[in-house]
Amino acid sequence: MRKDGLSIVTQIIRKDCDQLLNWSDGTRSGLDRVLGLLARTLAPGRSESGGLFVGDLVLHLLRRAGNAVLPVLPALLTALVNRLATAQTASFAQSLILPFAFLIHGQRDVVLDLLDTLSVDGKPALEVLATAWADNVDTFQGFWNTRIRCVGAREPS
């Protein structure tokens, strides 16, 4: 999907997430449609440029949808970490890492427990995330840049 499509869905989530969550076409809910869009965008072999805005969409979804996302959170994080393992560019990696940073900030144990149960091509998912985060942290840009760098640079107590 083009950047414009992801931007439109992100704006819908930002402006009226409740309406999206309550919408259904009779077979699938609005949340299911968004998750389907994310799955297609994150599919292996898809262009990274199309996924540069995935992180922004997921962040707004996590912020606005609240508990409605909980049932699909494991599948969503699995898709993100699986695609992160093959990310070639720092900007795409940043887009995939930001939702983890947001969740770790607020729900550390849930996210770490989930990552502990997953593997990506034989590697622990937590290792995939930590390696990608460490490899790309110097190139992160935007508001979350400072926060992510602070988490990564924290001195041991």
Above 90 in pLDDT, residue 107? no
Q: Indicate the number of domains in the chain.
A: 1
CB 99 within 8 A of CB 55: yes
Convert the pLDDT of each residue in 20-38 to its tens digit. Answer: 999 998 899 999 999 999 9
54, 101 in Cβ contact below 8 A? no
Nearest to 68 by CA among 13, 148, 112: 13
Buried b (16+ CB within 10 A) or exposed e, 33-71: ebbebbeebbeeeeebebbbbbbbbbbbbbebbeebbee
What's this model's pTM, rounded to 2 decimal places? Answer: 0.84
Whether residue 81 contacts residue 115, with contact meaning beta carbons closer than 8 Å, is answered with: yes
Q: Which domain holds residue 42?
A: 3-153
